[in-house]
């Protein structure tokens, strides 16, 4: 018996709807099960600045004594660049790190992150921008003393506001690369300086932030662990498109970067493109 016109059109409509659904599913990009990039904006074809410093100045004052730590520095870093900042002790590298990360206010000048001027944000907005966009590796690690190594890494994910659950496969991968698997239940006071440093690096990378600011990330490491950290940063930069700004006093470490800024007495004295950065090994 022939079907009624109404039933026929319902069948055609259902087929059409299913075809459109199927097309959409096929057209959506394949998802990587292990390496989703949570915080990374889509890489544009043209280089776009992600960090801009404009006449950046920081003068510390204690009583009547003034210490000009950063003196009128201007530069621009493009999305996806790997920058090394080198310079002697006391030249203002860490102060620059705090300024670029919005952790201290500039005495003069501006820091613009992804088009947003830190100075226009209130404290809450600045904190949110930092948590969502920037991973910090502090020179003195700044691990929370009451939490274990694992707790310190997990909390970075928890406060980042990401909806996705902690990527345990990526966590395992970071811990293996940084050789800290056997130390995850220890508190910072039970870890060596180098182990604390590597936990701090895992904490900075776990959220796959668009920007990684690392202050002397290899400062406490032996050659083997130092190479592992540099390789990790380089590969995160290449494969996840993260913008990395690494402070170091070690010219060999700086050799992995695409561009090297030299700081002296609070000023940038050279800005050089590294035409042959150290090669990168397998995938992250």
242 near Mg ion, rule: CB under 5 A: no
Binding to Mg ion (CB under 5 A) within 114-143 occurs at: 139
Nearest residue (CB) to ligand ATP, 46 versus 62? 62
- Does 60 bind ligand ATP (CB under 6 A)? Our answer is yes
Strand-pairing partners, residue 260, are 84, 272
Told to check if 93 binds ligand ATP by CB under 6 A, we report: yes
Binding to ligand ATP by residue 90, rule CB under 6 A?
yes
Consecutive H or E run containing 158: helix 149-159
Q: Which does 95 bind (CB under 5 to 8 A by kind): ligand ATP, Mg ion, none?
A: ligand ATP
Output Rg (C-alpha) for the chain, integer angstroms. 23
- Residues that bind Mg ion (rule: CB under 5 A) add up to a total of 3
Calculate ∠ Cα 42-47-51, nearest 5°.
85
Sequence-distant (6+) residues with CB within 8 A of 211 are 50, 51, 113, 133, 134, 135, 242, 243, 244, 245
What is residue 31's three-state secondary structure?
coil
Quick one: which of 104, 93, 54, 141 has its CA closest to 246? Answer: 93
- Member of 22, 41, 67, 159 binding ligand ATP (CB under 6 A): 67
To the nearest whole angstrom, how small is the minimum distance from the Cβ of residue 103 to ligand ATP? Answer: 12
Cα gap 178→201, rounded to integer Å: 8
Closest CA to 68 of 45, 51, 32, 92: 92
The smaller minimum CB distance to Mg ion, of residues 39 and 196, is found at: 196
Instruction: State in angstroms the smallest separation of the CB of 37 from Mg ion.
Output: 30
Q: Compute the Cα dihedral for 133, 230, 110, 108 and give only its sign.
A: positive
182 is written with which tokens? 């056997």
Contact positions with ligand ATP (CB under 6 A) in 234-253? 249
CB of 207 to Mg ion, least distance (A): 24
Q: Which stretch binds ligand ATP (CB under 6 A): 16-24, 93-101, 144-152, 168-176?
A: 93-101
**Shortest Å distance, C-beta 58 to ligand ATP:** 8
Tell whether residue 94 is a contact of Mg ion (CB under 5 A): yes
63 binds ligand ATP (CB under 6 A): no
* List of residues contacting ligand ATP (CB under 6 A): 60, 62, 67, 69, 87, 89-95, 139, 249
């Amino acid at each position: 018996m022939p079907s009624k016109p109404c039933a026929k059109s319902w069948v055609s409509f259902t087929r059409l709807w299913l075809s459109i659904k199927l097309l959409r599913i096929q057209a959506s990009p394949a998802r990587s099960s292990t390496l989703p990039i949570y915080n990374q904006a889509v890489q544009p074809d043209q280089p776009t600045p992600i960090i801009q410093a404009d006449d950046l100045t920081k003068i510390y004052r204690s009583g009547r004594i003034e210490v000009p730590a950063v003196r009128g520095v201007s530069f621009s870093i493009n999305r996806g660049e790997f920058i090394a900042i080198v310079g002697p002790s006391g030249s203002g590298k860490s102060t620059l790190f705090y300024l670029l990360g919005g952790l201290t206010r500039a005495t003069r000048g501006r820091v613009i992150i992804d088009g947003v001027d830190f100075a226009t944000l209130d404290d809450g907005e600045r904190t949110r921008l930092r948590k969502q966009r920037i991973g910090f590796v502090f020179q003195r690690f700044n691990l929370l003393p009451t939490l274990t190594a694992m707790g310190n890494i997990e909390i970075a994910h928890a406060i980042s506001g990401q909806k996705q659950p902690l990527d345990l496969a990526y966590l395992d991968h970071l811990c293996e690369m940084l050789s800290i698997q056997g130390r995850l239940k220890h508190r910072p006071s039970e870890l060596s300086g180098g182990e604390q440093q590597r936990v701090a690096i895992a904490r900075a990378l776990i959220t796959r932030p668009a920007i990684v600011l690392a202050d002397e990330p290899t400062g406490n490491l032996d050659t083997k662990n130092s190479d592992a950290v540099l390789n990790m940063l380089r590969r995160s930069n290449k494969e996840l498109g993260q913008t990395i700004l690494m402070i170091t006093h070690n010219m060999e470490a700086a050799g992995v970067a695409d561009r090297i800024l030299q700081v002296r007495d609070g000023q940038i004295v050279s800005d050089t493109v590294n035409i042959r950065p150290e090669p990168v090994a397998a995938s992250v």
